[in-house]
C-alpha cells in the first residue's frame, strides 16, 4: 500500500463543510492522507458536501498532490471545487401571553423542509392556536410548519376558566 498526501486549501473546511471518502481517506488540518492499496495504481477520492445549516455562500475547496520521496506524480495534480450553500431560514417561536406556556421547534432549517412545533401550556392555561404562516394545523398543539422563508410563529394560550355556581339557600326562622 502507498500513503499519499493531499494538500487542502480554500474557504471550505474539511469536517464541517465537506468530507473525503475513498482510499481510506483521513484528514488532519489542511492535510489529507489517502491509501492506494497494494497492486493498485490509483484510487478515486470523492468530495462529499456536508450540510451545516450556516449561510456561508459559495465556498471553495482546492486539492493538490505535492511531490514526495515515496511517489512522483506524472503531472502537477490540482483540483478546485465550489460548494454551493443549501438555503436555510430561521424560525422564531413565541408564546402569548408571555409565561403562559412553552414552545419548542424554533431554529435554523433548510428551505423546503417541514419542522415540528409543539406548544405546552402551563398549569393555569390552555392552548388555543398557532398564528403565523405555513402551519399545517393551527389548532393542534403539535403541528408542522413549512420552512419557505424566515418566519415567526406564535403559540396562543388562554387562562383556564373555572365555573362557579352560587345557590341561595332558604332560611327558616323559628320564633
Q: Residues 65-75: pLDDT tens digits? A: 887 877 766 66
* C-alpha to C-alpha distance for 85 and 35, rounded to whole angstroms: 30
* C-alpha to C-alpha distance for 66 and 136, rounded to whole angstroms: 54
Query: Are the C-beta atoms of residues 41 and 1 closer than 8 Å to each other?
Result: no
* C-alpha to C-alpha distance for 9 and 82, rounded to whole angstroms: 12
Q: 153-173: per-residue pLDDT in tens?
A: 999 999 998 888 888 777 777
Quick one: pLDDT at residue 95? 97
- From residue 42, give the alpha-carbon distance in Å to each of 4, 69, 139, 162: 10, 17, 60, 77
Q: Reply yes or no on whether the pLDDT at 50 is more than 70.
A: yes
Quick one: pLDDT at residue 79? 87
Quick one: pLDDT at residue 149? 94
Mean of pLDDT over the chain? 90
* C-alpha to C-alpha distance for 88 and 112, rounded to whole angstroms: 9
pTM, two decimals, is 0.62
- From residue 53, give the alpha-carbon distance in Å to each of 39, 57, 87, 144, 147: 41, 11, 8, 19, 13
Task: Give mean pLDDT, residues 70-97.
Answer: 85
Amino acid at each position: 500500500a502507498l500513503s499519499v498526501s493531499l494538500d487542502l486549501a480554500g474557504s471550505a473546511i474539511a469536517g464541517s463543510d465537506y468530507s473525503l471518502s475513498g482510499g481510506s481517506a483521513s484528514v488532519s488540518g489542511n492535510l489529507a492522507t489517502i491509501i492506494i492499496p497494494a497492486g493498485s495504481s490509483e484510487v478515486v477520492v470523492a468530495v462529499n458536501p456536508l450540510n451545516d445549516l450556516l449561510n456561508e455562500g459559495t465556498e471553495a475547496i482546492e486539492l493538490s498532490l505535492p511531490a514526495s520521496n515515496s511517489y512522483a506524480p506524472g503531472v502537477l495534480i490540482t483540483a478546485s471545487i465550489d460548494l454551493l450553500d443549501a438555503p436555510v431560514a430561521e424560525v422564531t417561536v413565541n408564546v402569548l401571553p408571555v409565561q403562559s406556556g412553552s414552545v419548542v421547534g424554533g431554529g435554523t432549517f433548510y428551505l423546503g423542509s417541514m419542522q415540528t412545533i409543539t406548544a405546552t401550556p402551563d398549569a393555569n392555561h390552555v392552548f388555543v392556536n398557532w398564528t403565523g404562516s405555513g402551519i399545517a394545523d393551527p389548532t393542534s398543539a403539535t403541528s408542522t410548519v413549512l420552512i419557505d422563508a424566515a418566519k415567526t410563529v406564535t403559540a396562543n394560550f388562554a387562562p383556564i376558566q373555572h365555573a362557579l355556581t352560587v345557590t341561595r339557600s332558604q332560611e327558616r326562622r323559628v320564633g
